Amino acid sequence: MGTYQHVRFAYRTAPEVGGAPLRRPVAVVGAGPVGLAAAIDLALHGVPSVVLDDNDSVSVGSRAICWSKRTLEIFDRLGVADRMLAKGVTWRIGRVFHRDRELYCFDLLPEGGHKMPAFINLQQYYVEQYLVERALEFPQLIDLRWKHRVAALRPAAGGAALEVDTPDGRYAVQADWVLAADGARSTLRGLLGLPFEGHTFEEKFLIADVQIGADFPSDRRFWFEPVFGQGQSVLIHRQPDNIFRIDFQLGPDADADLEMQPERVMRRVRGVVGPDVPCELDWCSVYSFRCARLDRFVHGRVVFVGDSAHVVSPFGARGGNGGIQDVDNVCWKLAQVLAGRAPERLLESYDAERVHGADENIRNSRRTTAFMTPKTGTEKLFRDGVLALAHDYPFARLLVNSGRLSRPCSLEGLPGFEGDGADLDGPMRPGMPCLDAPVTGGDGAPDWLLRHLGGHFTVLSFAGDIGSLQRLESGLAGAAPDGVQMLAVTPQLLPGGTLQQLVDAEGLVRSRYGGADGVTYLIRPDQHVTARWARPEAAAVGRAWRRSLGEQP
Amino acid sequence: MNASAPSGLRRDDGFGGRGDDFYELLMRAHEGLDEARSAALNARCLLLLANQVGDIEVIRQALDAARASLAPPAQ
Ligand SMILES: Cc1cc2nc3c(=O)[nH]c(=O)nc-3n(C[C@H](O)[C@H](O)[C@H](O)COP(=O)(O)OP(=O)(O)OC[C@H]3O[C@@H](n4cnc5c(N)ncnc54)[C@H](O)[C@@H]3O)c2cc1C
């Protein structure tokens, strides 16, 4: 079963078997989407890593399918988004039904002027394949090792030692840092004896990928108490290759073996797609879900990222998307620490920021599950009440919860982000991930703001005319230390300026960033606003930059 | 508008002297309904009114007050 041709990646004997250990600045354990993305991000920062995976192929069966705008923006920085966009199914509309009536639809990106769509659907195996192929473009920096299973871990001063099992025997790896990207059943979590606490939902779901020979819409469609088939809810997503993901909510008592019988699955599928449409089962599985996270994500020199650190139910597509935001958050920090430009303490901000992100994802996922599975008669009364009112009362639509789809996580209010000064407006408060907008570079070619912001610190200033540009240039002289780029957003190319200009011909950068003349942002390598000023001073910019690097004021 | 402190649950008359009218309306709304339908009506009415109030803090206080007013379960 399955239309995707799984390639086996070549296993290679480790030269270290029976010899001296392998030394690397970073060992990434696990080549799922999170570990692969981390290795690429580190490579873009010039940090070499070894990636160890106990398997030799991409994800079998489709797991993640919905990749969010923020993930795509991060993938764009990593150099893989264009391929994913080309293959993926782009969507932004969700439609919600109750029994046989449509209650409402929602639009996840009602405005233009963004490079990335609200969502694409793309099977996890394609995502991993594209990430592997991208990783192979860094042969000097990324050492990808398939069928290398980490079996032991020993924390050591200034690093950690791993024991790796291969078909040819065991060898040792010594790394300054270990990124534990080994998934929901994390070996490293177990080796460190870390509890993974949370909540398991009793509800069972049948997940079927079906190839359909008919033109169905790309919108996300969700039914509460569908009249077709049995079951409490049904969710459909379109994927590439004419494959549709259908999730059937089976209730807590379903018998997994029985529900997986192909004839039985196809009876349910037929209920959704109709009796005559040609369709074929590509893959199916019965799941129950849990929400859990590690208490801390940083344990000495071992840093947990992705499913090893946190898991959620898939409604809301927050698992993989959350893991990619972990990568975005941690890699630049590791690179700064390894280069000696920041104290090790900087990693504490990864812990605080991504624990916050995981909690947000778990909260959303738990609330969705609660709405989908009323536990008592009273819970059912309120759920039915919300559904009954939703058609006519917009407020009630906001209470209908068929999944709160992954949104970029704001770090507002966390340590290291400066509060706003007076006379600043616009939504881009410190802690917010930057919004995209169209710009043109010096050569006049159409481009996007976010493509200029990632990977390094940026001082981004607004100037409406040459006078204000020159004031900025003299006011900010010396503000940008080595490796910090300075950019000015201008309405048209202003001759005579020395700062690099991004032309904001449509004025969207200005309106999205409240960009009055002189307004200046300091932006982190992960495209989050650190601080902003209406009237910037070089000294204040320098202080904010040092604080974002974990230096104490 | 509200006699008590902002963002606090009011304890005094909010009906402007028309409390009897409200009570009669409430009883009438349930007339002829069996318990299940009455319960459904209450739930929906609560959703509509809670949205009208809008202030989560006031709603939290109302829920706490209602819960505190329940007699403890029989031993
Ligand atoms: C049905 C379903 C639907 C989902 N839908 C979505 C969605 O739409 N959007 C979304 O964002 N997320 C979704 N998710 C979640 C998503 O699949 C996960 O969050 C994602 O796979 C996590 O990636 P990861 O790299 O952290 O872990 P994994 O993908 O689990 O990768 C871990 C890797 O580590 C390797 N490994 C494990 N132990 C060792 C060891 N000891 N030594 C070496 N290697 C090891 C494994 O072989 C594996 O390759 C869904 C999940 C499910 C189950």
Q: How high is the ipTM of this complex?
A: 0.91
Do residue A389 and residue B44 have CB atoms under 8 angstroms apart?
Answer: yes
Q: How far apart are CA A196 and CA A335, in angstroms?
A: 28
The pLDDT, as a whole number, for residue A85 is: 98
| Predicted pLDDT of residue A146 | 98
- Evaluate whether residue B2 is within a structural domain: no
In a domain? residue B14? no
Domain count, chain B: 1
d(CA A436, CA A448): 7
Residue B27 lies in a domain: yes
Instruction: Classify burial at A73, counting beta carbons within 10 Å of its beta carbon; exposed 0-12, middle 13-18, buried 19 or more.
Output: buried
Confirm whether B6 is domain-assigned. no
């080549």: which residue's tokens? Answer: A31
- Atom 14 (ligand 1): residue with closest C-alpha? A64
Residue extents of the structural domains in chain A? 23-89+120-197+292-365, 199-290, 438-548
Ligand 1: centre distance to CA A534 (Å): 43
- The correct answer on CATH 3.40.50.2300 for the domain covering A23-89+120-197+292-365 is no
Q: How much is the average pLDDT of B1-5?
A: 46
For residue A393, the chain B residue with the least C-alpha distance is B48
pLDDT at site A3: 80
Which pLDDT belongs to residue A418? Answer: 76
Q: State which of A307, A325, A402 you would mutate to test the pocket of ligand 1, scoring each by most atoms of that ligand within 8 A of its C-beta.
A: A307
pLDDT of residue A216: 83
Considering the domain A438-548, what is its CATH architecture?
3-Layer(aba) Sandwich (3.40)
pTM over 0.90: yes
CA distance A246 to A243: 10
Q: Label residue B4 by pLDDT band (50, 70, 90).
A: very low
Ligand 1 centroid from CA A35, angstroms: 10
Shortest-distance Cα residue to atom 30 of ligand 1? A183
pLDDT-derived band at B6 (thresholds 50, 70, 90) equals low
- Which residue of chain A is at minimal alpha-carbon distance from B39? A381
Check A389 against B48: CB less than 8 A apart: yes
Ligand 1 atom at shortest distance from the alpha carbon of A205: 1
Separation CA A414–CA A38 (nearest Å):
24
Asked whether residue B48 is domain-assigned, the answer is yes
Model pLDDT, residue A468 = 95
Interface contact B47-A384, CB threshold 8 A:
no
The position carrying tokens 């923006």 is A73
Nearest chain B residue to A380, by CA: B40
Residue B3, domain member (yes or no): no
Distance separating alpha carbons of residues A527 and A315, to the nearest angstrom: 26
**B1 pLDDT tier (thresholds 50, 70, 90):** very low
Q: CA nearest A367: which of A355, A379, A384, A357?
A: A379
In a domain, B75, yes or no: no
Residue A406 CB coordination number (10 Å): 28
| Chain B nearest C-alpha distance from A326 (Å) | 32
What local confidence, expressed as pLDDT, does residue A483 receive? 80
Measure A219 CA to ligand 1 centroid, in angstroms: 25
Residue A308 alpha carbon, nearest atom of ligand 1 = 26
Cα A199 to middle of ligand 1, angstroms: 19
A74: which residues sit within 8 A by CB, 6+ positions away?
A37, A324, A325, A327, A328
In the structure, which protein residues have their CB atom closer than 6 angstroms to any atom of ligand 1? Answer: A 29-35, 52-55, 63-66, 124, 149-150, 181-184, 187, 207, 287, 306-307, 314, 317, 319-321, 323
Q: How far is B43 from chain A (nearest CA, A)?
A: 6
Kindly state whether residue B58 falls inside one of the protein's structural domains.
yes
Distance A145 CA to ligand 1 centre (A): 18
* Structural domain harbouring B52: 19-68
Q: Which residues of chain A have pLDDT under 70?
A: 1-2, 229, 422, 553
CATH architecture of the domain with range A199-290: 2-Layer Sandwich (3.30)
Residue in B with minimal Cα distance to A381: B40
pLDDT at A105: 94
In B41-60, the residues whose Cβ lies within 8 Å of chain A are 43-44, 47-48, 51
Number of helices (H), then strands (E), in chain B: 3, 0
Ligand 1 pocket test target in A40, A51, A54, A145 with most atoms within 8 Å of CB: A54
